[in-house]
Amino acid sequence: MQSIFLDKNHEPTAADLQNGIGLTFTVWNEIETYLNEIYPKVQSKWHFTSAKMGWSFRMSDSKRVLVYLLPRDQYFKVAMVFGQKATNLVLESEVSESIKTELKAAKVYAEGRGIRIDIKNDALLEDIKKLIQIKLTA
């Protein structure tokens, strides 16, 4: 599924985002605020991938993307890539079994295993925070 923002010439605004992802806007903001608090050097920016995929929001350090936030119609996805060390830490952590199952099933690439988690409410917020902590330490 593609972004709800497909116009290359219009970078999404906060109002666009709030209208697009609806009630999950507060969860998006909580994730963004959390990462900024625990890692003040994070660089956040919108990125246009292609006409088919549209805009996504990336939160990075100087070397890698830490978290992708992918806007969808009335919800969003959190996407993360974990190397083997981080994968092991996630599997040993207390995050939900559904996330662990998805991570185990993910195809392994040179950069690691990628997962995308649908955020339709705040039920997985604490798990997302744990995943961010693992990503930063591994």
Helices marked H in the chain: 14-21, 25-38, 84-92, 97-105, 125-137
Q: Give the pLDDT band of residue 63 (cuts 50, 70, 90).
A: confident
pLDDT tens by residue, 9-60: 999 999 999 999 999 999 999 999 999 999 999 999 999 988 888 999 999 9
Mean pLDDT over 129-138 rounds to 95
For residue 1, what pLDDT is reported? Answer: 66
- Of residues 82 and 110, more confidence is placed in 82
pTM of the model: 0.93
pLDDT tier, 62 (very low <50, low <70, confident <90, very high otherwise):
confident
State the Cα–Cα distance between residues 74 and 119, nearest whole angstrom. Answer: 10
* Strand 65-72 relative to strand 55-60, pairing: antiparallel
| Residue 113 pLDDT | 95
Identify the pLDDT of residue 119: 98
**CA angle in degrees (0–180, nearest 5) for 49-110-60:** 45
Q: What is the mean pLDDT of residues 99-124?
A: 95
